[in-house]
Amino acid sequence: MTVVTRFAPSPTGRLHVGNVRTALANWLWAQKQGGRFWLRLDDTDAERSEEWFAVSIRDDLAWLGLHPDAEVRQSDRGTLYEARFAELVAAGRIYPAYETSQELDLKRKIQLGRGLPPVYDRAALKLTNVDRKRLEEEGVRPHWRFRLDESAPIEWDDLIRGHQRFDPATMSDPVIRRADGSWLYMLPSAIDDVDMGITHVVRGEDHVSNTAVQIQMFAAIGAAPPAFAHQALLTGAEGKLSKRLGSVGVDEFREAGIEPAAVRALLARLGTSDPVEPIVDAAELAAGFDFARFGRAPARFDEAELAQVNARIVHQLPFDAVAGRLPAGMTEEAWLAMRPNLSSVAEAADWWAVVEGPVQTATATDDRDFLTRAAALAGEIDWTGDPWHALTGALKAESGRKGKALFLPLRRALTGRDHGPDMAQLLPLIGRARAVERLYAA
């Protein structure tokens, strides 16, 4: 069996972190199994779907390195849905219902007031042909429901949650088509999964009850369901379900200087028993992806943790991978010198500005003679080897200074900062002329 997974967003908004996690899990599983990964745009909601959202979804997946093997759009598949719909109506598995939303709301309130679950009472099934004709002559257009089979429980073995069991008698027959003819999510999704040969569906645990319904839809169509894996939902760093997680998206990651590899590395391990590691190679990440390692507890997404993973990713990036994002003239030697001190690639520009100058310094009075002598020695030492240790060695011998008293005034005078990259690597980039000028100025 060739594994086929899919990511099926609706182009009604930008991808957020939960969407990205779902896309990543489906992509990683397909990669691990040597299978295929589809992008399916669930754009049956014509009023809310917008083309620029579809473009942004493609762009975000590309930035993350999640390249689909193929793409389909539900808006192009209406003929298939109509054919399946007609078959299921003929088989008695789909039926018209005529209640208004106000009537349905009143029914639910009455049931809740009586301590009963708000399950649809199937009143529409009691209507005669004469009743239906009269309603339609009055201008009432029906919506359509899928009739659940209540003869046996709905059961499946979830790859993350284990054995699942639902009693269909406790569930309402779901509306699958509106009165205006537009489709809701459930039936087109099941039809597409069959037609596309989807073998595995990875999604959030908020879809578990939808899965129960769709398993009956697969059976009604005459197809075996795919395997399902429902991930625990994400929570915020404060430990509660966070509305903010619904807005944190790829565009925000980009603006914050987060690397796509950092997003992959963190989201692939959230909710699992595996530690989060700064894995750059997506193939390595896929090789370790295992549904058996996922737990049932909510998964904690912490932007501070993402920033930490990002820094560890940046510290691994070779010059060729970042050259296009570095300031003009910045060399590989400079990148390697600065890389250990960076939290993002963008910060390299700040340190390149330190190299090229000018820098602002404030010198303590008792350091001025020391720095004047440092300037003279900087003009005399051999710069072909290790000028930093040559300079500090000579100053230590002459002044008797050591440790912080020796190194900090020099760093401040040469860079304008108290901390930063290793001076043994940074000083050759600054060069003799600029070093002497800065030391005399300080």
CATH at residue 372: 1.10.10
Residue 261: inside a domain: no
3-state secondary structure of 98: coil
394 within a domain of the structure (yes/no): yes
In a shared domain, residues 381 and 335: no
Q: Is the same domain home to 380 and 417?
A: yes
Query: Does 328 lie in the same domain as 371?
Result: no
- Amino acid identity at 244: R
* Residue 168, phi then psi, degrees to nearest 5: -65, -20
Lookup: tokens for 186: 């459930």
Question: Do 397 and 437 belong to one domain?
Answer: yes
Q: For the stretch 307-335, what's the b/e string if a residue is b when 16 or more beta carbons lie within 10 angstroms of its beta carbon?
A: bbbbbbbbeebeeeebeeebeeebeeebb
**Domain ends where: 330, 356, 382?**
356
pLDDT at residue 246 in the model = 65
CB 34 within 8 A of CB 10: no
Flag whether 236 is in a domain.
no
* 402 labelled binding-site residue: no
Residue corresponding to tokens 């899990």: 25
Q: Which residues have CB under 8 Å from 432's CB, separation 6+?
A: 378, 379, 383, 387
Q: What is the pLDDT, as a whole number, of residue 330?
A: 96
List the chain pLDDT tens, one digit each, 442 residues.
899 999 999 999 899 999 999 999 999 999 999 999 999 999 988 888 899 999 999 999 999 999 999 999 999 999 999 999 999 999 999 999 999 999 999 999 999 999 988 999 999 999 999 999 999 999 999 999 999 999 999 999 999 999 999 999 999 999 999 999 999 999 999 999 999 999 999 999 999 999 999 999 999 999 999 999 999 999 887 666 555 676 788 889 999 999 999 999 999 999 999 999 999 999 999 999 999 999 999 989 999 999 999 999 999 999 999 999 999 999 999 999 999 999 999 999 999 999 999 998 878 888 999 999 999 999 999 999 999 999 999 999 999 999 999 999 999 999 999 999 999 999 999 999 999 999 999 9
Taking 3-state DSSP, the helix, strand and coil percentages for the chain, each rounded to the nearest 5, stand at: 50, 10, 35
Helix (H) / strand (E) element for 227: namely strand 227-231
Which residue has tokens 């625990």?
Answer: 232
User: In this predicted structure, what is the pLDDT of residue 244?
Assistant: 66
Residue 412 lies in a domain: yes
Domain-located, residue 351: yes
> How high is the pLDDT of residue 249?
83
* 339 and 376 assigned to the same domain: no
Q: Residue 220: what pLDDT?
A: 98
CA distance linking residue 44 with residue 393, whole number of Å: 73
Structural domain span for residue 349: 319-356
The answer on 343 and 377 residing in a single domain is no
How far is the C-alpha of 59 from the C-alpha of 210, rounded, in Å?
Answer: 29
pLDDT at residue 134, as a whole number: 95
DSSP three-state, residue 406: helix
Q: What's residue 236's pLDDT? A: 85
165 domain residue, yes or no: no
Which residue, 356, 376, 403, sits at the end of a domain? 356
Which of 329, 356, 383 is the C-terminal boundary of a domain?
356
For residue 396, what are its two tokens?
């230590």
CA distance 388 to 392: 6
Per-residue buried b or exposed e for 354-364, using 16+ beta carbons within 10 Å of the residue's own CB: bbeeebebeee
**358, 416 Cβ separation under 8 angstroms:** no
Find tokens 């086929």 and name the residue. 4
Pair 147, 120: CB distance under 8 Å: no
Number of domains in the chain: 2
Please tell me whether residues 324 and 347 are part of one structural domain. Answer: yes
- pTM equals 0.90
Q: Residue 386: inside a domain, yes or no?
A: yes
- 390 within a domain of the structure (yes/no): yes
Question: Same structural domain for residues 331 and 385?
Answer: no
**Which pLDDT belongs to residue 132?**
95
